[in-house]
Structure 1
Amino acid sequence: MRRIALVCLFPLVCFFVAAQNLEDFEYDFELYDDQAEPETEMVEEPSQVSSGRSSGDFGFVIHGDRVTITAYSGDAAEIVIPAEIQGMPVTAIGYKAFADNQLIGVEIPGTVTAILYKAFENNRLAWVILGEGLTVIRDSAFANNQLGGVLIPDSVTVIGDHAFENNRITNVIFGKRIDEIGSLAFAGNRLRSVIIPDSINSLGDDVFGDTPLRYAYSGMVMHSQRALEAELGKRPLVGKFLGP
């Protein structure tokens, strides 16, 4: 499986990321989160979605010819998620599938196109390897862990609310195609600088709230903390940064 470059950021925690497009991803959120708001992906016919099954330590459901992992019953601290189950590709990590465990590391295969709500929340993750298929990281997917640095590849387009909140992230670099970053997505970290591309069309409130962030870079322009507070903390930003 191809991997992009390893990024090592203080405090020597590594976050691997690779991704591709998710134009055809579909998913039935009602199976995992009765409180989740309706999504455009929820177009599966009930007859195409199986009831819960298991394979080794992984619980899953089948959507047509695709698999979504919905639960983990093992006790390993470091895991490799299978690329296939029963001959079908694993394309999503479901709602709270690995939440509230003691995981310190996880490898996600390139077949996975979306990591859904709270999928890895409340673990001790210090490292994650993301396969080259990922495009969407949903709300609170990696909240309350111990990741130290994040490199978001060019093909990722959406990062949900609280996605990386309350980690130990000191630096984050976004890819060239990121379109949307949700509210509080990187709040409660140790950020001191960020690089944000001009592709951003929507930023939620307090994306970098409760961090020691001093500057953000957009193209060749450096933005002060005051500018960040004005543009990020009080309202969603549409388009490019306006400058300090």
Structure 2
Amino acid sequence: MWKKECGQFCREIHYKRKEEGIEITGCFGEDGQIVLPDEIEGLPVISIAPYAFAEAKTDQDDLIWRNKEVPDIKVDRHAQEKAERICAEQVESVWLPKGVTEIGRYAFYRCRNLKTLILSDSLLEIGGGAFTGCRLEAVEIHFFQGEKSCLRSIVDEIRFAVRARLFYEGEEARVLFPEHYEEAVENTPARLLVTHHHGAGGYYRQCFYDRELDYKKYDELLYRTRAEEELETAVELVMNRLCYPYRLEPAAKDRYKTFLQECLKEAAGILAEQENQDGLMFLEREGLWTLEALEAAMERAAQSKKTEVLSLLMDMRYRCFPKKQKTFEL
């Protein structure tokens, strides 16, 4: 799962040597898809410097690693730094080195277009404001040493919906942290400000203990999702847990399935619209389909021109609800 090719790396990486390894201070490349090597000059990359991707400044004391597999662009050195340093709004995705244990403060400050972050469980410390001004949507964490990670620190900084893919030894979990926000409302007679919480995301962000995600506590919050989130969000969250049931207890699975059965027609249409083939196949595998729900999903797929999903649903209809052959009596 964790395999990088040299051709993926940035064309030029600026760094400093520390006692334990390498600290990245900046990158140059052709686009905002940043893939950083696990080692530079035979030393492990262990940290990302403060403000590394937040601004275009370059320290004259930085060392430089150049990717020999990426053609160099012959331009004036000063102009090259000014035009091609990947920072701020240019950053779109980041694949961190496997051995990174620390991200400095404000490392990705105002990287507004940063949507995807890939990292390992070596990273447990994140500097203050590291993702301030970001709208991170997807986090992928690979676990090699247990189940501790910096996931809580990340989702605490992002109030928008965050989708996490967590890779353990031979297993994958997918969890959704819904959007949430807080609103200060004045209670004029009492001269107090009362904080109102909106969305279930704040509760899901509390499902951690000692830097480990508490799946049992996460699964107990379905009632919050049902009460405070749109059906599309609830369906996505539920299908993530059912299709990737890491540490999913039988009682929680039953609650999730009951929820689906109660809104099966609407949920099936949402899955078709989202092209969630894993979810649609789960409904067949668990024997949850009704003819009405299946036909509703087919109609939604046809309206949305999701031809691949429509073909899948037509095959399911044939298997789940075959037409009875007519018989004739002589």
TM superposition score normalised by structure 2: 0.36
Structure possessing the higher radius of gyration over alpha carbons? 2
Structure of higher RCO (CA pairs closer than 8 Å, 6+ residues apart): 1
